[in-house]
Amino acid sequence: MILQSPGDVAFNIINFPVYWYGIVLAFAVLSGVLCAEYISAKYLPEKFFIETSPLIIILGIIGARLYYCIVNFNYYINNPLEIIDIRQGGMSVHGMIIAGIAAYYFICKKYKTDFFRVLDISSCGVSLAQAIGRWGNFFNSEAFGYPTNSDWGLFIPVSDRPLPYLNYELFHPAFLYESVLDLFIFFILLKILKKSEKPGYTFFGYLILYGTVRIFVENIRIDSVLNISGMPVAIWVSLFCVIAGCIGVLLKNN
């Protein structure tokens, strides 16, 4: 089976293109919010996630974009006006997570709500949203891995291939691998949330599981934007997430 993007534009309104990337992300965010709201029924005040989601979404987008621009600093310092142009893609899950955690910390203080319980439920919604959102990369022909010689893979147009791989057509669909694994994480987190009575376990489990998945996927991808000491920055951040998750679980057990 060969996967091939039909193109990044879904349709046009007059001369204004509407991109699949934005449609997929919008659907992913909506699914994550509704999922979190449904799960939170027995833990939090009614409509907590519905009411707080507009602020979280805005700050999450800002955090995701700023993080991406920071790791692509050399490009955006020379093209500063493109920082606000998110319609062409360029968002980081890690930036979104950092911004979301910070925002919920202050929201929970205001609402006098259990911060870690909110993060637990958010983690379930986020993992579902990530599983869906990765398909935005499919339409943009991005987030792909090394070339493959098998009868299946992701076809990448010449214009989107890295220079060393111009003669290859099929690549490992890294976005698909992460999407499937994120869906598994979602179901695992639901079980952890159901069985664990200590707030924070599900969130720390998310950090460990997603960090591990991202390390695996990043070792396959060939379109990483920044390397530090020979490793993509996403791997370093994911390692930090795994370590933080393990420390959190240990502290919760004491």
Query: Does this model's pTM top 0.95?
Result: no
Tokens, residue 45: 């005040």
pLDDT tens for each residue of 71-128: 877 778 888 877 787 766 677 888 899 999 999 999 999 888 999 999 999 999 999 9
3-state secondary structure of 170: strand
Q: How many helices and strands (H and E) does the chain possess?
A: 9, 7
User: Which helix or strand (DSSP H or E) is residue 66 part of?
Assistant: helix 48-71
Tokens, residue 113: 């709500």
Q: Which residues of 30-61 are buried (b: 16+ CB within 10 A; e: fewer)?
A: ebbbebbbebbeeebeeebbeebbeebbebbb
Query: Which sign does the torsion angle of CA 161, 164, 165, 167 carry?
Result: positive
Domain that holds residue 225: 2-253
Q: Is 231 a residue whose pLDDT tops 90?
A: no
Give the chain's domain count.
1
Q: Kindly report the number of other CB atoms within 10 A of residue 191's CB atom.
A: 11
3-state secondary structure of 184: helix
The size of the chain, in residues, is 254
pLDDT tens for each residue of 148-178: 988 889 999 999 998 889 999 999 999 999 9
pLDDT tens for each residue of 176-219: 999 999 999 999 999 999 988 789 999 999 999 999 999 999 99
Using an 8 Å Cβ cutoff, are 142 and 162 in contact? Answer: no
Q: Is 236 a residue whose pLDDT tops 80?
A: yes
